[in-house]
Amino acid sequence: MLARPSCAATTLIPSEQQKIIGVDVRLTCPSNQPVASQDRLAACLRRASRSVLFPSSDEYTAKKTLCNRRRDIEPFPRAIVSAGAVTEVRRAVACVAAAKAAEPPRSDSRLHVCARCGGHGFENDAGCTGGVMVDVAALQAFSIDAETGIAKFGAGHTWGQIYYKLAQHGRAFPGGTEASVGTAGLMLGCGRGLLTQVHGLACDSLIEVEYVNATGSLHRASALDNTDMFWLAKGGGSEFPGVATRFTVRTYAMPRLVVKRRCPTRQVAALAERWMRSLDDGGDHWPADLPSFSHVAVSRGLPGAMLEAMCFDCDAAQLRRFHTSFDAVVAATKPPDVLACGYPGGNSSWLQTLLQEPGSGGGSADPRKLLLRKGAVPWKPLAGLNGGIMVRSGSDLPTLARLAQGLIDEPRFRATRDNPWNDMYLLYPMGGRAARTEETSAAYGSGRDSLFVFHYKHQWKTVGPDASAEHCTAVRRHQQLTSALAAASGCKSFYNYINYDLTCAGNSSDGWFQAHFSDVPRLRRVRSAADPGYVFHSYVTRARSPCVCAARTAEEKAVKAATLTRPRKGGATGAAGRAKAYPHRESMPRGHRVAFNASERGRAGCGHPRKSLKALKLLRARTDLSLVPGFVRGPPMATATHGSQPMQRHRQSGFAMPISCSDAAVTWNWASLSGLKNPSYGRCAVLDSATHIAAAPLEHHSAPVCVDHLRGVRELNSNGVPGHSVVAFTTHTYRPTMCEGCIKVTLPLHPQILPHTTELPHFGPIGYTLSGLPLVGSAWPVWNGFIQKQQAWRGHGGSPETGYLWHYHHPAIKSDPTGEYARPDELIGWAMDGFPIYGPLPAGDDGALDACNGRIANGGYRYHVRRLEAINLSLPYCRSHGSGWATHWSLILGCFHGDVSRTTISQRSCLGW
Ligand SMILES: Cc1cc2nc3c(=O)[nH]c(=O)nc-3n(C[C@H](O)[C@H](O)[C@H](O)COP(=O)(O)OP(=O)(O)OC[C@H]3O[C@@H](n4cnc5c(N)ncnc54)[C@H](O)[C@@H]3O)c2cc1C
């Protein structure tokens, strides 16, 4: 039998789920450890800083929100520390380091520190899901040596703030263009901007970085001291194992006059190719020694492409060369097809130039606008994918130019009021001082000798009915473009325009690192030595790969249908009636049952149920549930109305239910319907006979099904609410309640058939539908007679009445809400071992199925549900079949034929859905 955990009295808390259905609480006592360590971490963080937010705080959502609103990277930190001073950063890091040291080493632990500065990281790495976000925005110290021009500034500045402060001393810095981008993220990623050709990449001007290391102590790194960390701070990006608190940099005389030109044209390819060639030594060389900047922008807001250029404090000779080069590029459009050339605002000062950049000041002439950009995130709630390929001399420039043209040739790109897209391609020059800097001087990737960076953004609105479809469309388009760009130019990427889906890197993490960093072995060495316990998040050891939308197959169509399902008003009505008979309870072999009556439960390990309830209240009172990542305060679950009646019902009935045929049922499945040990719920709705879910305050949400080829997993994200109308089951003595249970399920992408089979759990998920709802076995509903009486049907084969989470027992499930059986070739979902589940075979063909309901079809193993009438429910539940245990009641599955140990289910927050 399963081992009985030893639980201390106050923590013997059966979950609400267990209380309701009366599952053997011995199997599900939560261990003391997590609660205690969460308590300790919360207390430590509260001592560390005056400003700590947990998910239950009102301001949490606003504070955690980062620039990119892509749903798959929405951040859910377990706490946010807004550090008012460096000491607070140190204490917060020390708290996490202590908590990490106390937790058992787990490779999938998400407890990390992530620093946040401007919140503009393209992949929301500062978001720190499951970890502690340390916001450094309040670190605003600033000083400058008037003689040397060396400036020291706190790592919380945005570029707007720094540009403004430097301007008071007549100085400038080669940072980024947009005022709201954070200095820390851009410096560490070694970003670029208007002055890159003149003064190099941002990190080329770094003299010293002060940072808090993985143990919470303060250090400095420079070219003379702590040189490895200095090297890593120059382009290591999110791999930097510390929180930067202060930068010391070389600054430059601020340009007094910026001469500007810009011309839009519809002939994107011609303009882009000529501009590319003008950067190349082989072409009409755009003078690399000229103190200038030029770029080509292709964007939805433009009629085509825009050539834009600036000359900083240029003398007459330099201006002549500047104009000649500009005119030569424009002349490439034949006949010169230029629309209104000019520059609104004309030639201007450096600060005015910055204010004209998008997202910097709205074209205002008031330079204080720059100062006030405090890392404010987005003016527009856009989700986005970014990529930045470095293009070297010798690349296939005509193809690259055609790819740029491709953006405006797409019909979907046409500007309409409802168009959700906001895509743009930006071509930025390298060369000049950036190219003259020794590559090995920085962790920043090889590619300094490139001609330019092809930065591409696919952005879309996150609201509206088609958000999921837009995500998939954008992912696909982005990948296609990445492949095409890489084929034409080589696999080098600009770190700050991060692209995890660098297809030319062979989808390997090593390839990805090589595309971004100058010396990967050194990076690994330095990182591991500085932070062996992974207090800071890192991709170097844990491969990060893109979650791509499922392949373009029939499977995808089904996925799309499921993920786009919307709740509908109205719906089926269902029969109801309490099941009083338990016709099959005697069919279980003795010894494989557990009785649920009060006295047995009392001995079962977690104490008397009343004591447990009391203990639960106690625990609630002293535990900050907000520390549970993703916890959302829903209605109280242990109320008399919802909690005690079902429990009593089962206590009175004292019936028995099987728990195992083989003693080897998968233990995690015992925890709860969601598969989680201590599920927390989002919003809940009490249903009555008139309540359809569509009318309840709950809506189905699921992210597009993701296929992660690098990790070899398929990922489902859902809020656990069905995307179809349901009818309440009203004959229970309590009112059925349905809640959001937001989860992420990770299934093996390439499951293998094992020589033996694994018994299904009697309770908990055996698989998931395409829209991320649990499929549950037949033990419980057949045992109770619900299935036989079609009472588990209630619309679409599901039920919320136990455990608050909607789930399906009945085999008549489809990806769309018709309540009929799916077709034999219609994908319903995936089993916990990763194999797909399809609709039932035609009547009489069930002989082709093995004991698990599986067969080989189209070169792969798959399950098929069986029609209810094809199953003899009077046979005993357990069925020994030589290679393991299965069930005769194999409505959805009979057993697992693959490995379920690689599947994980984790809680995610319902926030944002
Ligand atoms: C609208 C927009 C415009 C942009 N323009 C440019 C541009 O002109 N040039 C350019 O090169 N890039 C540009 N970028 C890219 C940008 O530089 C990077 O995304 C950069 O990482 C953002 O830094 P942040 O501090 O704003 O972001 P954050 O999201 O706060 O941080 C980004 C990364 O840096 C880490 N980090 C932040 N602060 C610290 C710290 N104190 N210590 C250690 N790690 C820290 C975070 O943990 C995260 O990994 C732009 C991005 C956007 C969205």
pLDDT in tens, 553-567: 444 454 444 433 332
Residue 496 Cα to ligand 1 midpoint, Å, equals 7
Tokens at 844, concatenated: 């009489």
554, β-bridge pairs: none
Is the distance from CB of 656 to CB of 594 less than 8 angstroms? Answer: yes
pLDDT band at residue 696 using 50, 70 and 90 as cut-offs = low
Helix axes 268-279, 397-409, angle to 10 degrees: 150
Task: Decide: 114 in ligand 1 pocket, CB within 6 A.
Answer: yes
Q: Beta strands 885-887 and 113-116: pairing type?
A: unpaired
Task: Report the sign of the C-alpha dihedral through residues 305, 311, 316, 320, in that order.
Answer: negative
Task: Decide: 188 in ligand 1 pocket, CB within 6 A.
Answer: yes
Q: How many helices (H) and strands (E) does the chain have?
A: 22, 38
pLDDT > 60? residue 863: yes
- Of 894 and 564, more confident: 894
Which pLDDT score, from 0 to 100, does residue 913 have?
58
DSSP 517: B
Task: Decide: 77 in ligand 1 pocket, CB within 6 A.
Answer: no
DSSP 640: I
Nearest CA to ligand 1 atom 28: 119
674 Cβ neighbours under 8 A, 6+ residues apart: 720, 741, 743, 764, 765, 774, 803, 805, 905
Residue 426 Cα to ligand 1 midpoint, Å, equals 17
Mean residue pLDDT of the chain comes to 75
Cite the DSSP H helix spans in 299-421. Answer: 316-330, 350-355, 368-371, 397-409
Task: Decide: 520 in ligand 1 pocket, CB within 6 A.
Answer: no
Which pLDDT score, from 0 to 100, does residue 118 have?
93
Q: Which atom of ligand 1 is nearest to the CA of 497?
A: 15
Task: Decide: 159 in ligand 1 pocket, CB within 6 A.
Answer: no
Q: What are phi and psi of 860, to 5 degrees?
A: -140, 165
How many Cβ atoms sit within 10 Å of the Cβ of residue 901? 12
Task: Decide: 702 in ligand 1 pocket, CB within 6 A.
Answer: no
Task: Decide: 460 in ligand 1 pocket, CB within 6 A.
Answer: no
Tokens at 65, concatenated: 């929100």
Is the distance from CB of 302 to CB of 262 less than 8 angstroms? Answer: no
Which range, of 153-157, 188-192, 197-201, 464-468, averages the lowest pLDDT? 464-468
Is the distance from CB of 742 to CB of 908 less than 8 angstroms? Answer: yes
Which pLDDT score, from 0 to 100, does residue 819 have?
62
Run of H or E including 298? strand 292-299
Task: Decide: 397 in ligand 1 pocket, CB within 6 A.
Answer: no
Which pLDDT score, from 0 to 100, does residue 376 have?
56
Task: Decide: 116 in ligand 1 pocket, CB within 6 A.
Answer: yes
- Of 137 and 636, more confident: 137
68, 82, 120, 535: residue to mutate for ligand 1 pocket, most atoms within 8 A of CB: 120
188, 426, 430, 534: residue to mutate for ligand 1 pocket, most atoms within 8 A of CB: 188
pLDDT in tens, 584-630: 222 222 222 222 222 222 222 222 222 233 332 332 332 222 222 22
Task: Decide: 780 in ligand 1 pocket, CB within 6 A.
Answer: no
> Could you tell me if residue 313 is left (phi over 0), alpha (psi between -120 and 50 degrees) or otherwise beta?
left
Is the distance from CB of 249 to CB of 225 less than 8 angstroms? Answer: no
pLDDT > 70? residue 778: yes
Quote the CA–CA distance of 506 and 229 in Å, as a whole number.
Answer: 29
Quote the CA–CA distance of 704 and 2 in Å, as a whole number.
Answer: 37
pLDDT band at residue 346 using 50, 70 and 90 as cut-offs = confident
Q: What angle do CA 443, 449, 450 make, to 5 degrees?
A: 105
CATH code for residues 142-252: 3.30.465.10
Q: Which atom of ligand 1 is nearest to the CA of 114?
A: 47
Quote the CA–CA distance of 888 and 660 in Å, as a whole number.
Answer: 14
Quote the CA–CA distance of 657 and 593 in Å, as a whole number.
Answer: 6
What is the percentage of the chain residues whose pLDDT exceeds 70?
69
Quote the CA–CA distance of 722 and 741 in Å, as a whole number.
Answer: 11
- Of 180 and 20, more confident: 180
pLDDT band at residue 367 using 50, 70 and 90 as cut-offs = confident
How many Cβ atoms sit within 10 Å of the Cβ of residue 730? 17
How many Cβ atoms sit within 10 Å of the Cβ of residue 653? 13
Fold designation for 258-348+381-507: Vanillyl-alcohol Oxidase; Chain A, domain 3 (3.40.462)
Residue 115 Cα to ligand 1 midpoint, Å, equals 11
pLDDT band at residue 571 using 50, 70 and 90 as cut-offs = very low
Which pLDDT score, from 0 to 100, does residue 876 have?
81
Quote the CA–CA distance of 649 and 22 in Å, as a whole number.
Answer: 9
Is the distance from CB of 894 to CB of 887 less than 8 angstroms? Answer: yes
Instruction: Give the three-state DSSP class for 686.
Output: strand
pLDDT band at residue 705 using 50, 70 and 90 as cut-offs = confident
Quote the CA–CA distance of 158 and 186 in Å, as a whole number.
Answer: 10
Q: What share of the chain is helix, strand, coil (3-state, %, to 5)?
A: 30, 20, 50
* Average pLDDT of span 340-349: 83
Instruction: Give the three-state DSSP class for 656.
Output: strand
**Could you give the count of Cα atoms lying within 13 Å of 664 in the half-sphere of its Cβ?**
13
pLDDT in tens, 76-112: 889 999 999 999 999 999 999 999 998 877 666 778 9
- Of 189-193, 487-491, 545-549, the range with the highest mean pLDDT is 189-193
535 Cβ neighbours under 8 A, 6+ residues apart: 93, 96, 97, 100, 112, 113, 214, 215, 241
pLDDT band at residue 692 using 50, 70 and 90 as cut-offs = low
Question: CA distances (Å), 423 to each of 324, 408, 591, in order?
Answer: 31, 10, 64
Q: What are phi and psi of 903, to 5 degrees?
A: -85, 135
Gyration radius of the chain's alpha carbons? 30
Greatest alpha-carbon span in the chain: 100
DSSP assignment of 161-189: HHHHHHHTTTEE----SSTTSBHHHHHHT
Residue 180 Cα to ligand 1 midpoint, Å, equals 10
Which range, of 25-29, 381-385, 460-464, 893-897, averages the lowest pLDDT? 25-29
Residue 676 Cα to ligand 1 midpoint, Å, equals 35
pLDDT > 70? residue 289: yes
Q: What are phi and psi of 529, to 5 degrees?
A: -70, -35
**What residue spans define the domains of the chain?**
142-252, 258-348+381-507, 560-573+668-907
**Whose CA is closest to 741, among 561, 567, 906?**
906
Q: Beta strands 836-838 and 860-864: pairing type?
A: parallel
Query: Dihedral of the CA atoms 174, 180, 183, 187 (nearest 10)?
Result: -60
Q: Beta strands 292-299 and 424-429: pairing type?
A: antiparallel
Is the distance from CB of 801 to CB of 736 less than 8 angstroms? Answer: yes
pLDDT in tens, 779-789: 777 776 777 76
Residue 194 Cα to ligand 1 midpoint, Å, equals 16
